[in-house]
Amino acid sequence: MAQIQISSLISDRNQINNITCMKNILFSALLIVPLFISHAQVNPSNSGVETGNTASSNGAEIGFGISTMTVTSNYSRVQSYGGSALSENTIGSPFLHDNFLTGAILKGDEIIKDNIGVRYNVIDDIFEGKLDILAADEKAKLIIKSPDYQIKIQNQLFMVAELEGVPKYFEVIQVGSKESLLKMHVKKFNPEIQATTSLTRSVPATFKYRTEFYMLNEAGETIELPSSKKKMIKLFGERGDEIKALIKEKKLNLSKEKDLVQLFKSI
């Protein structure tokens, strides 16, 4: 099982804006993933973050933790899901926020690149970045997907953790002394359904959104939080009685995010 260790991370979600004051975020024994993730072919000899743009032999460019996205890569995929072009009647989008927002790329407590345009493609579980936030969207590049890097979008902080052997992005919601609360953003694409007769109506393509909550324990395991209070208490093992008493004392409704935050603040 891959392990993740977090020490002295932010104690409150509101402190993310003061990110330079974060202590070390340590990730160890993680699944090895390519430093640069892109549908474009990136020069495999690159093993770190470049300090400037370097053109590779195949035309891809790498700079400040961002690898170029070609016109045949993810940008084109955004225009077409399910093998057909998205219509103007499509409800929702594949993104957490439709527009690029100001963000940063971090490595531990070091800011690698600040004041860039960042957007999270939830469907593909990738982050896109633009060094110039005003640049055209098709100029966006894929940000490194690696447990060594974190991504900040305004007051949201994302990290990479392993889930069933696959690296996934999670939003850091609350860090406790032993366990941390993470949120996974999930979207599902439902393609358009054309009317088959004059008596039926077409149904537009939709992106359905939901969230899932996970616990990151001391062993580095990401475990989805159950809806059952009894099963939730069981996750904490020998501390179950303590957690049960805490839930009762604070009258926590574990189906609500704000109450989950309160729980993980208190443990």
Residue 74: what pLDDT? 52
So where are the chain's domains?
3-223, 225-267
**Strand 126-130, strand 150-153: pairing:** unpaired
Residue 10: what pLDDT? 40
What's the rounded Cα separation, in Å, for the pair 170 and 180?
Answer: 11
Cα four-point dihedral sign 253, 254, 255, 256:
positive
Residue 75: what pLDDT? 53
Residue 66: what pLDDT? 56
Residue 83: what pLDDT? 56
Q: Which residues of the chain have pLDDT under 50?
A: 1-64, 68-73
How would you write 200-235 as a 3-class SS string? CCCECCEEEEEEEEEEECCCCCEEECCCCHHHHHHH
**Residue tagged 């941390």 (tokens):** 180
